[in-house]
Amino acid sequence: MNEIPHVNETVKQTDIGKKAEVNGQTDSWDTIPDTIKELLAVPPLLPHENEKAFLDLFESFRSYAEPENIVDYHLVFNATVCKWETVRYRFMATAVTSNQQQAGLKSLFMQTHGSASIPGAEKVVTMDAAEKARRCFTDPEYCEEAYTDLELMGYIPDGQAFLLSLPALATIERLAASAEKRYAASIKELEKRRADRAAKRRLTLGQSVNGDSKEANK
C-alpha cells in the first residue's frame, strides 16, 4: 500500500468517471447518488493507504455490478470496503510478523547463549541477547554471520518471529475471514439483483415482441 496522494473532489470525479469519459459520455460521477458521493469523499482509509486505489476498486465493482438505485450503490460500496479490509489485514499480518523480527532474534540469542544455563545469569543473558538482536539491524555483516550460526544450530530466525506473531495473526485471520464473508454476501446480492433486472428486461422485451406480432397479424 503506497503513500496516499492528495486527492481533491475534482480528481475523485475524474477517477470515478474514467469509463464514461473513454466512451465520450458525461462524467459518470453524476450518476452516483449523493449519499454515496459523501461516503467516497471520506473513504475509510488508514493514513498510509492509497485513496486513488480505493476509488479504483469502487469503480471496478460498480462497472461489474451495474448499479441502478441507492440499494445497489450501497452494496457496491460495502463490497469495496470489505475487499479493501481483506487487503489491509493481509498487509497487517506481514507487518506484525516483521515487527517481531527483533524480538524473535533476542529470544533465539537467549536460548543459544553460552551462559543461558548458569544460575543468576538471566539479566546478563537478556542484555547481551537484546544487544545482539539490535546489532543485526544495523550491521549487515554481523547479521549474516549471526543467521548462519543460528541456522547451523538448527534455528530459523524468521520462524521465531512468526511464532511470536501467532496470537495476533490468529486475530487478524478472523478479521479477514469476516471481511471476506461480508464481501461475498454483498457480491451475491448484487449479482442476484442484476440477474433479476435482466430477467425483467427479457420478459418486457418478449411481451413487446409478442404484442408487435399480434398487431402485424391483424
- pLDDT tens for 41-51 read 999 999 999 99
Is 12's pLDDT higher than 60?
no
Residue that wins the pLDDT comparison between 121 and 103? 103
Structure confidence at residue 206 (pLDDT): 66
Residue that wins the pLDDT comparison between 116 and 167? 167
* Residues 103-136 as b or e (16 or more Cβ within 10 Å = b): ebbbbbbbebbeeeeeeeeeeebeebbbebbeeb
Mean pLDDT is lowest, of 10-24, 72-86, 177-191, for 10-24
**pLDDT classification of 202: cutoffs 50, 70, 90:** confident
Residues 51, 35: Cα–Cα separation, whole Å? 18
- Supply the pTM of this predicted model: 0.75
Structure confidence at residue 210 (pLDDT): 56
Is 21's pLDDT higher than 60?
no
- 45, 38, 84, 86: which is closest to 61 by C-alpha? 84
> Are the C-beta atoms of residues 149 and 132 closer than 8 Å to each other?
no
Say how many C-beta atoms besides its own lie within 10 A of residue 72's C-beta: 20
Structure confidence at residue 23 (pLDDT): 38
Residues 187, 61: Cα–Cα separation, whole Å? 9
**pLDDT classification of 216: cutoffs 50, 70, 90:** low
Is 192's pLDDT higher than 80?
yes
Structure confidence at residue 116 (pLDDT): 75
Ordered DSSP codes for 177-192? HHHHHHHHHHHHHHHH
Joined together, the cell numbers standing for residue 40 give 467516497
**pLDDT classification of 200: cutoffs 50, 70, 90:** confident
